[in-house]
Amino acid sequence: MNIIETSGLGKRYGGTWALRECTLAIPDGRVTALVGPNGAGKSTLLNLAVGLSAPSAGEVSVLDGRPAGSPAALDGIAFVAQDTPLYKNLSVADMLYVTRSLNRRFDQPYAQARLDELGIPPKRRAGKLSGGQQAQLALTLALARRPRLLVLDEPVAMLDPVARHDFMATVLTAMAADGVSVLLSSHVLAELERVTGYLILLSRGRVHLAGDVDALLASHRVLTGPAADVDRYAGRPVVHAGRAEAQAHLLVQATADDPVPPGWTARAASLEELALAYLREPGAVALHGTLPPGHDRGAEKSEVTK
């Protein structure tokens, strides 16, 4: 079962495509991470999925085939935007009241209990809370709607490490306890590694990699060996190559069972290494036996040997 499906989805602003030819099937019951550089199309995809924007091309459906933006879809989705939207002059208690009044379903006892547990005073103005408390308040308001899908746009970008950890712990608890599916965009790759089950990489408005994290990591290895021998490597496709002094580091499409070239060592790739490699080489194709047409393997090697 898929929580979001897109087919040929695209969004154009004037003559510029912010997102194009996006076809995805995002599984239910997972934390899905949406990763890419600024301007990659992450927020555009999220806005299309929650119905805040209409597509210029293609289709997007959510929650088992419901049209994005339809009343049935909106009732099951909670969205926390990047700037943690709160009415800064309203008290915490007033924010609960406003949110409860604007939604058909709102679990007031849950929200109050959670804010009490976090030590967030009900009479304090939202604008006077710390950054971490504001993020937790926005997340509490979203979860109290009891959504099936929680969409988070850069939720921890401005938080310190402790606040980021506490925020993501709350997200994981909600997923485990209530079966909430989570789609989040983030630049903090180190935080994503411990929580993400499904990964989507966007670059220049296009999807460059999508899949189950365990399967992606199992199908890639990092090879380290002498830079002088890199031209002799004729194994599985190279996604990205880099050099540190006399050694070359290759991220290749390979499994733990594939042979290692003489003089080289192999180890598992981290999620951060995998994501950065595909973002640096947006023409690379995952889980295929050949590099895509137009991929310049010679340029890739020259980067290592120069």
Tokens for 193, please give them. Answer: 């590694």
Q: Which structural domain, as residue segments, surrounds residue 203?
A: 2-213
Q: Please say whether the beta carbons of 278 and 208 come within 8 A.
A: yes
Residue 260 pLDDT exceeds 80: yes
Q: Please say whether the beta carbons of 246 and 291 come within 8 A.
A: no
What type of residue is 151? V
Indicate whether 133 and 200 sit together in one domain: yes
Count structural domains, the chain. 2
Indicate whether 200 and 288 sit together in one domain: no
Indicate whether 33 and 118 sit together in one domain: yes
Beta strand residue intervals within the chain, DSSP E: 2-13, 16-27, 31-35, 57-62, 66-67, 77-80, 149-153, 181-185, 198-203, 206-212, 220-226, 238-244, 247-253, 265-268
Using the 3D structure, point to which of 170, 198, 213 is the last residue of a domain.
213
- For residue 291, the tally of other CB atoms under 10 A from its CB is 18
Indicate whether 268 and 207 sit together in one domain: no
Average model confidence (pLDDT) across the chain: 85
Higher pLDDT, 116 or 168: 116
As a whole number, mean pLDDT of residues 122-151 equals: 93
Rounded distance, CA 306 to CA 201, Å?
29
Indicate whether 130 and 243 sit together in one domain: no
| Residues 171-188 pLDDT 10s | 888 888 888 999 999 877
Indicate whether 64 and 201 sit together in one domain: yes
**In this predicted structure, which of 2-6, 118-122, 142-146, 231-235 has the lowest mean pLDDT?**
231-235
Using the 3D structure, point to which of 213, 247, 270 is the last residue of a domain.
213
Indicate whether 269 and 185 sit together in one domain: no
Rounded distance, CA 167 to CA 156, Å?
8
Q: What is the pLDDT of residue 156?
A: 74
Higher pLDDT, 204 or 155: 204
**What is the DSSP secondary structure assignment for residue 270, as one 8-state letter?**
P
Indicate whether 208 and 227 sit together in one domain: no
Residue 304 pLDDT exceeds 70: no
Higher pLDDT, 35 or 192: 35
Indicate whether 295 and 184 sit together in one domain: no
As a whole number, mean pLDDT of residues 237-264 equals: 87
Q: What is the pLDDT of residue 283?
A: 62
Higher pLDDT, 19 or 162: 19
Residue 298 pLDDT exceeds 60: no
As a whole number, mean pLDDT of residues 227-244 equals: 76
Using the 3D structure, point to which of 213, 230, 255 is the last residue of a domain.
213
| Residues 218-227 pLDDT 10s | 999 999 988 8
**What is the DSSP secondary structure assignment for residue 126, as one 8-state letter?**
G
Q: What is the pLDDT of residue 77?
A: 95
Beta strand residue intervals within 189-287, DSSP E: 198-203, 206-212, 220-226, 238-244, 247-253, 265-268
Tokens for 211, please give them. Answer: 């899949």
| Residues 87-121 pLDDT 10s | 999 999 999 999 999 998 999 999 999 999 999 99
Residue 131 pLDDT exceeds 70: yes
Indicate whether 122 and 234 sit together in one domain: no
Rounded distance, CA 174 to CA 110, Å?
12
Residue 232 pLDDT exceeds 80: no
As a whole number, mean pLDDT of residues 132-138 equals: 91
Indicate whether 277 and 170 sit together in one domain: no
Q: What is the pLDDT of residue 296?
A: 37
Indicate whether 199 and 298 sit together in one domain: no
Please report, for the domain that includes residue 119, its CATH number. 3.40.50.300
Q: Please say whether the beta carbons of 236 and 287 come within 8 A.
A: no
Between CA 28 and CA 35, with CA 32 as vertex, the angle to 5 degrees is: 155
Q: What is the pLDDT of residue 300?
A: 34
Q: Whole-prediction pTM value? A: 0.84
